[in-house]
């Protein structure tokens, strides 16, 4: 582990890694069941949820004078981390520093997502971090980046393009969001990878809050081409209101 830390140039990253080691012990490979569940081959630390929260709480308190440049550099460094927890910390820090997050250029998502593996790492970064206000406030730039992600050869980036919109479509009714969401779904609905089929279902279900009629119409028109899991889950959500 000393060699790993020595390769990390960012001091904040090294400090967080030391805390992971201290509280979680040596990193190790998941057993096959857990590894298959979250979809990553990265090693992880035996770290409880409460320990992870405590690490972040203490770090926030100790770094209240963090600058935007330091924040941005830390996220880029963590995104290249060897362990599952390091990559997941990118998402935690995006959520914890909204003032700084809003200053990040949308294009940086390409860097954050480059090394992600599995739904847990993708969703920690893309889910519920970027609000409708942020995305609509710089719409053309965000739209361009999201479309680029949807066309990327990396399936994890394609999943992220769908997941990014799950929060904004719940927050506001804006036709730009709905149009982009349907465009992405139409483009990706034919893929068989569960990373995509589940994300298609997720986005459609979250659209029901503000775009119910549009989702009902889309489900009827595309019932023969949507993934079976999406048809089933969206129909259940429409009928019961439950996930």
DSSP string for 105-134 = -GGGHHHHHTT--HHHHHHHHHTTSS-HHH
Give the separation between CA 103 and CA 107, rounded to whole angstroms.
Answer: 12
Residue 86 burial (CB count, 10 A): 24
According to DSSP, the residues that pair with 28 across neighbouring strands are 44
Assess contact for 133 and 102: CB atoms under 8 A: no
Report the candidate in 182, 157, 164 with the shortest Cα–Cα distance to residue 234: 182
Sole residue written with tokens 């393009």: 161
pLDDT for the residue numbered 1: 47
Q: In the prediction, which pLDDT does 135 show?
A: 98
- Residue-level pLDDT at 44: 79
pLDDT of 42 reads 86
What is the structure's pLDDT at 3?
A: 47
Q: At what angle do helices 68-78 and 11-24 cross, to 10 degrees?
A: 50
Instruction: Give the count of alpha carbons within 13 A of 53, CB side only.
Output: 3
Residues 6+ apart with CB under 8 A from 63: 12
Quick one: how far is CA 228 from the chain centroid?
A: 24
Spatial separation of the C-alpha atoms in residues 191 and 195, rounded to whole Å: 9
Q: For the chain, list residues with pLDDT below 50.
A: 1-3, 31
* Strand blocks (E) in the chain: none
């Amino acid at each position: 582990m000393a060699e790993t830390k020595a390769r990390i140039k960012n001091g904040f990253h090294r400090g967080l890694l030391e805390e992971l080691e201290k509280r979680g012990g040596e990193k190790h490979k998941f057993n096959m069941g857990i590894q298959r569940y979250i979809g990553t081959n990265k090693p992880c630390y035996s770290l409880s949820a409460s320990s992870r929260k405590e690490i972040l709480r203490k770090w926030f308190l100790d770094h209240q004078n963090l600058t935007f440049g330091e924040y941005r550099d830390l996220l880029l460094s963590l995104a290249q981390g060897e362990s599952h927890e390091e990559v997941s910390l990118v998402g935690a820090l995006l959520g914890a520093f909204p003032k700084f997050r809003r200053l990040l250029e949308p294009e940086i998502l390409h860097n954050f997502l480059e090394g992600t593996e599995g739904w847990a790492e993708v969703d920690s970064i893309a889910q519920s971090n970027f609000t409708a206000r942020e995305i609509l406030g710089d719409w053309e730039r965000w739209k361009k980046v999201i479309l680029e992600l949807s066309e990327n050869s990396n399936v994890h980036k394609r999943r992220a393009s769908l997941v990014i919109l799950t929060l904004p479509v719940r927050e506001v009714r804006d036709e730009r969001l709905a149009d982009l969401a349907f465009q992405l779904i139409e483009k990706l609905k034919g893929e068989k990878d569960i990373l995509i089929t589940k994300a298609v279902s997720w986005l459609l279900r979250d659209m029901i809050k503000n775009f119910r009629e549009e989702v009902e119409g889309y489900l009827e028109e595309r019932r023969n081409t949507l993934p079976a899991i999406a048809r089933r889950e969206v129909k259940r959500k429409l009928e019961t209101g439950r996930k």
